[in-house]
Structure 1
Amino acid sequence: MTASAAPTTVPASSLDPALAALLKRDAAGLVPAVVQDEESRDVLMVGWMDDEALHRTLTTGRSTFYSRSRGEYWVKGETSGHRQWVRGVRLDCDGDTLLVTVRQEGPACHTGDRTCFDARELPALVIGPDTLPDAAPAPGTAA
């Protein structure tokens, strides 16, 4: 399978059809899966799942993803030993993103960082109540 090819269609029996009906997939049949540490609640990484990857995750208790670049399934920690033991999977309100709660063994990122979000923080302007510019009153309110 080429890196740009969509995953092979999975037989309906692999994933509960009622669950499959709730998923809103992208054009390649994938949904993003945000992985969160069960204790710290830190976001560890983001991976991609199709129906088969979600089925494998739910039935094995191990985070299983679909690699868009390699065109194959992979289990987190299968090579590195940095396993993720699934504690829960939730679907967001729109049905287009999964939240996978895990117990992480070792670092989650392939770079060796604890999370995939440890390395580069983007500069951001933080606006709080004390730094808001003076604004005109909202329509319908007294000035």
Structure 2
Amino acid sequence: MKREYFTALEQHPENSPLALSDVIDNLAFNEQGLIPVITQDATTKTMLMLAWMNKEALMQTIATKRLTYWSRSRRKLWVKGETSGHVQTLVSMSFDCDGDAVLCQVNQQGAACHTNRQSCFYLQADTDGQKVVVTGDPTPV
């Protein structure tokens, strides 16, 4: 049923609002109740990180405008920046065409990555040279 919901939206008139709660109720959370979230800097458009949200984290993010994820390793909600001070403030949220991924554009304060780099995507593949290059120095703390 959820897949059909998003298929029907392919013909939905542009700029015709949908209830946010209806879209969220039809998102394709996986067997663990999680959905992948791509976080992007709203100004530079740099991809900052990929994380996971459960429905509670998604609702908390919407309510507080502070990015809240589900930490799979700690098995609990994780408000980005609660310990590091590297806060992500929600600017916009969108859902992909299948309802199985979320894109959050944020204002990033400090580094997004736990390595203290601006982005978690600092391992640049050189496919011609068949190697990976580390880019972006960690920000001094």
TM-score band, normalised by the shorter chain?
Answer: 0.7 to 0.9
Residues matched between the structures, number: 110
Larger Rg belongs to: 1
Structure 1 gap ranges (5+): 1-15, 126-143
Cross-structure match for 1:121: 124
Verify: 1:37 aligned to 2:45, yes or no: no
Which of 55, 59, 63 does residue 55 from structure 1 map onto?
Answer: 59
Q: Which of the pair is proportionally richer in helix?
A: 2
Summarize deviations over 1:87-143 as a string: whole Å, max 9, x none: 01100001000000000001100100010012x112224xxxxxxxxxxxxxxxxxx
The 1-side partners of 2:81 and 2:53 are apart by 16
Structure 1 runs (4+) greater than 3 angstroms displaced? none
* TM-score, normalised relative to structure 1: 0.73
The 2-side partners of 1:30 and 1:51 are apart by 7
Q: Which of the pair is proportionally richer in strand?
A: 2
Structure 2 gap ranges (5+): 1-19, 129-141
Post-superposition offset of 1:24:
0.5
Secondary structure of 1:32's counterpart equals: strand
Summarize deviations over 1:47-70 as a string: whole Å, max 9, x none: 100110000000000000001111
Cross-structure match for 1:85: 89
The 2-side partners of 1:103 and 1:20 are apart by 23
The 2-side partners of 1:88 and 1:46 are apart by 16
Secondary structure of 1:18's counterpart equals: helix
The 1-side partners of 2:94 and 2:21 are apart by 16
Secondary structure of 2:22's counterpart equals: helix
The 1-side partners of 2:82 and 2:74 are apart by 16
Percent identity, aligned pairs only, is 42
Which of 27, 30, 49 does residue 31 from structure 2 map onto?
Answer: 27
